[in-house]
């Protein structure tokens, strides 16, 4: 199982980006998927999470600006980011709770990070 995060880049303050987190490999279900970010010199922090039933939660700092969604047919979760601020700069990671076989416990997988840089 692999998670591939993509869509990062350099954007001016006020701009938008859409990140993708795509799962590949052999598995039977994907549960909750989360987005995290890590700014230079800081600890990784949660940004948004979407459950299997599409319920969502957001960090206070991104509430109203970021939207997380999922396309189960494509095994992909998106993070739409609008009104970006310089403080949104960091490496963005996704993780997912994935079950590789029915009857077995699920495990959490992490994708590699994608850099988001917001210039002022």
Q: What distance in Å separates the CA atoms of residue 120 and residue 113, rounded to the nearest whole number?
A: 22
Q: What tens digit of pLDDT does each residue of 36-53 get?
A: 999 999 999 999 999 999
DSSP strand pairing (114-119 vs 9-12):
parallel
Q: What tens digit of pLDDT does each residue of 72-114 get?
A: 999 999 999 999 999 999 999 999 999 999 999 999 999 999 9
Q: How far is CA 39 from CA 14, 45, 80, 95, 117, in A?
A: 19, 9, 19, 17, 10
Other Cβ atoms less than 10 A from the Cβ of 33: the count is: 27
Q: What distance in Å separates the CA atoms of residue 103 and residue 107, rounded to the nearest whole number?
A: 13
Residue 92 · residue 44 · CB < 8 Å = no
Secondary structure of 49-83 in the HEC alphabet?
Answer: EECCCCCEEECCCCCCCEEEEEEHHHCEEEEEECC
């Amino acid at each position: 199982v692999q998670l591939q995060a993509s869509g990062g880049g350099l954007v001016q303050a006020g701009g938008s980006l859409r990140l993708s987190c795509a799962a590949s490999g052999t598995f039977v279900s994907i549960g909750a998927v989360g987005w995290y970010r890590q700014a230079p010199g800081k600890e990784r922090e949660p940004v948004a999470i979407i459950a299997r039933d599409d319920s969502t939660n957001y960090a206070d700092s991104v509430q109203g600006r970021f939207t997380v969604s999922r396309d189960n047919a494509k095994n992909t979760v998106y993070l739409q980011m609008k009104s970006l601020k310089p403080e949104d700069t960091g490496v963005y990671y996704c993780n997912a709770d994935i079950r590789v076989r029915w009857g077995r416990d699920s495990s959490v997988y992490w994708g590699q990070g994608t850099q988001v840089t917001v210039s002022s």
